[in-house]
Chains A and B, each alone.
Chain A
Amino acid sequence: MRLRFSILFAAVIPGLLTAATESDQVTLSDGSMLRGAVSDLSAEGAVSLTPEVASGKVIIPRAAINNVKFAQAQAEPETHASMITLRNGDSLPCEVLGLDASQVRIRTWFSGEHSIPRAAVASLALGVRPQRQVYTGPGDIATWIENVGWRSEDNALVANERGLIRRDIQLPANYILRFRLAWEGAPNFVVDFGEVAGKQTQSDDRYRFSVNGGGVDLKRQRPGGRWSPPLFASGPLPAMQGAGEAEFEFRVDSKSQEIHLYIDGRWVKRIIDRSSTALPPGTAITFQCMGNNQGPQQIKSLEVFEWDAMTQRHQNEGPGAGKEDSIITSDGERFGGQIREIAGSGASATVLSENVHAPDGVIRIALKNVTTIYFVGPDPKLPEGESMTLQLRTKGLLTLKESHFDATSLICQHPLIGEMRIDRRALSSLYTSTIPVSDQPDQP
């Protein structure tokens, strides 16, 4: 279930998509990694690869494969506004065409139309759209202020000595702040965010995130300069060890005063800031390099998004403890009852659900106001035997059996959907077992 939520969430975050690569990549269970062209996938799961570094083709048995990552086109693939999640945890972005007592009908650009037994569907997330991007950088270093000791190299800010650089990145009330830090030797950074724009003072209200050889910690400085005890502290995290580079992401919700920390795409901690009744009101960020005479410390890929934390919460609430289907609206209302159908189409589409409080026993909710539908029912029986896990470039996840390629598609059997022909452009990676946690986008 946790995996299902993670996929739901990841679908709405742009920029999480894999960077463009020109060739397929096969990682073996012994740690070997070869790039090349994957031309076939046998029914037994063996992969035919023409490696860049070898003459001819080799057939790699399933038992030797850890994962296959497919070549990615430059352009980000089209995605859909809705996400269907199945009862086995699989999910795929889609357009919802209809819903009745027995089936949910969907359409995808990469696999066409499917009628899925309703008993196989766990939830529908509707109106899932990319969060609005507020800032992307670091951009032209001249647009930063108070620069001491930082320079610009290859779209990164770089410092070797103690220094500071700052700018107003227009942090919204609820935001996702993401940046990548790179270092040689040990990291030695301080990142202040949520502080007021203008010249930095020692007494601003702000968050201070420190990253150094001893680990990471997050503190809050309240107006007047007093520091809170660490809101979060840790020794060096596994993702930081040896790599010399890590991506940090803060998802900050002003209403709940929650901060979710992610490192390298993995959720690390939910932090509740009780040090004040409100978040720091500022919109600026300051990066500091804290060491002298050391290897380059770099800041890359700085991004800020508005965060629709409420919709996210709805989509992460789960079906609840009841034995009825549930509909959650964008206002946060929740209605339980047997869902009958989606009537009409387009702007007039309406969800009809039985409800004991409605005068005629049926409540009608405009589909445009629905964020999430949960279905209840017994878990379907799944066929046994070996399967593979496909991660879609559009952030869906499918369990497949009897898969093989033709020139344009992966043809496979899905245990709940049936036969699927999936456009190769939608493929991200294929795992011979469950996706390791380190490769999963995650969400509390």
Chain B
Amino acid sequence: MKMLLFLTLLAHGSVSAAPNATLFFADEQKITGFPSHLQKGAAGEPPEIVWIAPAINEPMLLKQAKMLEMRLDTPPLQLEGGGHYAQLTLNNGDTVRGELTLLDDASVTVLTPFAGELKFRRDMVDNLRIIQRPTLLYSGPKDGDWKLNPAEGGWALQGNSLVSSGQGTASVDIKYPERFRLGVDLEWKTGLRFHILFLCNEEKDEAGGGYDLFFQEHYVYLRKREGTGIRGGGGFIGPTASLSEFSDKEKLRLELLVDTRTGFMSLLLDGRTMQEWTDPTPPAADNANRLQFATDDAQQLRVSRISMSPWDGNMEALATESPPAKTAEVAENIQQIVLRNGDIVQAETLKVASGSLAAKTVHGEIKIPVERMRTLTFKKPSGNSPTPKKMLGDVRAWFPEGGRMTFRLDDLKDGKITGYSQQFGTAEFDLTAFERIEMNIGNLELEQQRPKIGW
């Protein structure tokens, strides 16, 4: 009977929309394949996932009780192409990206490529940021782009991440504009020791010249290179920075802004400028074609969301990736809008429609194009925001480009996942929108086993 179901599922292509996935369970169990649909479980138990494992010629009925997470082979959503998008931060820490289409007293609506329009309760949204879409010259890592040395035992491409578990290098051929913004997500375990070799060129299949940005525990050095190899000769540029972020955290977004015409370089961590250097004789971008990551020892490190985009050299543009500016306390019923030029507007009511924000201020109503906004912090009724209820069957779904959503898993079929949350009601998502979906998120016993996955 199960064999018939298996063949029927394949023949009807009802699972064709589902991406390749690996489902992780407690006690280091895992099964590769893809989810087909949900099926009623035993009395009192949550539904079972009907799972197609190509290695096994019949569908499996998997119980949710011991599931840790489903990891999907999903590429990051491409956010290039200019223009802007909105990022909502919800009051449980979740973040969602999309095009802001509507904002009124009760709701914030964004149009997403993975679930159509999502309408959020405004009292459950903490803030909204408008982010400029960069024109990406490179976005990865993608299979085939990266040269790994050694081929095994150093760096490895796992899904949408480069993962280091030993000494080695990972290199990619890349085009450098005269002024560029290089961004990576870093995640590490116990002390970061890591090199980023940029503006390099290929010399005898190694990265030659350019710069070595070296992270050792909480110290950051920038060294100009005059040869190949990780050491590569050359001298230090500017002071050594001591940054507590590298000892306080195990995950952050690192961005490097470089102007090869002036030799100015700036390091940003999670959107904040941390260190600046100037090289009086910078190498020409035209001659550079290689980016390399290197580790000297058995370092557990994951690098993802690698992006290269042009930078206009304007420091104002940095603010587009910065967290909301700290401003003076505002009255409870006042909402605050920070514009891209740094202006701050305080408004009693806000509405967004047709790409324009209408704000009622003490000076009268003003209209601002959405793209001119930077952040919008919402007032909360009576100063408090209702926290979404935790429900049996809640899952936490992570986007490959960053951010996450928490909802109750109600259905799964045809490559779609249906979820419910008090924040947005019921919505249907493309399964391919997510990089991983954590299950049993309220189970503390299982929680202890999650960190073991993937390292």
Contacts and interface: CB of A to CB of B under 8 A. Distances in A.
Interface residues of A, number: 36
Interface string A30-73: 11111100000000000000011111101111001000000000
Contact of B298 (A31, A56, A58, A240): A240
B343 interface: no
B187 to A, nearest CB: 13
Contacts of B22: 32
B42 to A, nearest CB: 7
Given A294-B190, A295-B190, A238 B153 contact: yes
A236 B297 contact: yes
A113 interface: no
- The residue among A52, A186, A294 with the most chain B CB atoms within 10 A of its own CB is A186
Nearest to A291: B191
A187 interface: yes
A51 B55 CA distance: 15
B153 A241 contact: yes
A58 B167 contact: no
B373 to A, nearest CB: 42
- The residue among B22, B60, B62, B455 with the most chain A CB atoms within 10 A of its own CB is B60
Given A53-B29, A242-B166, A295-B191, A213 B66 contact: no
B298 A55 contact: no
B58 A53 contact: no
A34 B166 contact: no
A29 interface: yes
B191 A33 contact: no
B135 interface: no
B300 A185 contact: yes
A240 B298 CA distance: 8
A60 B53 CA distance: 10
Given A29-B55, A31-B30, A33-B30, A236 B298 contact: yes
Contacts of B41: 55
Contact of A61 (B27, B57, B165, B190): B57
A213 B299 CA distance: 8
A242 B189 contact: no
Nearest to B49: A54
A71 B175 CA distance: 55
Contacts of B63: 53-55
A255 B117 CA distance: 79
B55 A64 contact: yes
Interface string B51-83: 001111110111101110000000000000000
Given A31-B32, A34-B29, A34-B31, A54 B60 contact: yes
A213 B194 CA distance: 13
A29 B22 CA distance: 14
Q: Please report whether the interface of chain A is mostly helix, strand, loop or mixed according to DSSP.
A: loop
B29 A242 contact: no
Interface string A291-313: 00111000000000000000000
Contacts of A185: 189-191, 299-300
A424 to B, nearest CB: 21
B166 A236 contact: yes
Contact of B189 (A30, A61, A295): A295
Contacts of A184: 189-190
B58 A59 contact: yes
A116 interface: no
A112 interface: no
B48 interface: yes
A236 B297 CA distance: 7
A247 B193 CA distance: 25
B286 interface: no
A214 interface: yes
Contacts of A60: 55-56
A58 B29 contact: no
Given A60-B55, A241-B165, A294-B190, A35 B27 contact: yes
Contacts of A35: 27, 29
B28 interface: yes
B298 A51 contact: no
A28 interface: yes
A15 interface: no
Contacts of A244: 300
B25 interface: yes
B157 to A, nearest CB: 15
Contact of A242 (B28, B62, B191, B455): B455
Given A55-B61, A241-B153, A242-B455, A61 B299 contact: no
Nearest to A28: B55
B48 A214 contact: no
Given A31-B32, A184-B190, A55 B56 contact: no
B312 interface: no
Contact of B29 (A52, A214, A236): A52
Interface in A205-246: 212-214, 235-236, 238, 240-242, 244
A233 to B, nearest CB: 14
Interface in B1-60: 2, 22, 25, 27-32, 41-42, 48, 53-58, 60
Contacts of B60: 51, 54, 58
Nearest to A51: B60
Nearest to A25: B29
Nearest to A185: B190
Given A184-B189, A242-B300, A53 B32 contact: no
Interface string A54-95: 111011110010000000000000000000000000000000
B278 to A, nearest CB: 32
Interface of B: 2, 22, 25, 27-32, 41-42, 48, 53-58, 60-63, 65-67, 153, 165-167, 189-191, 193, 217, 247, 296-300, 455
Interface of A: 28-35, 51-56, 58-61, 64, 184-187, 212-214, 235-236, 238, 240-242, 244, 293-295
5 nearest interchain CB pairs? Answer: A213-B297, A185-B190, A242-B165, A295-B190, A64-B55
13 contacts: A32-B22, A32-B31, A32-B55, A34-B31, A35-B29, A60-B55, A61-B56, A186-B190, A186-B297, A213-B299, A235-B167, A244-B300, A295-B189
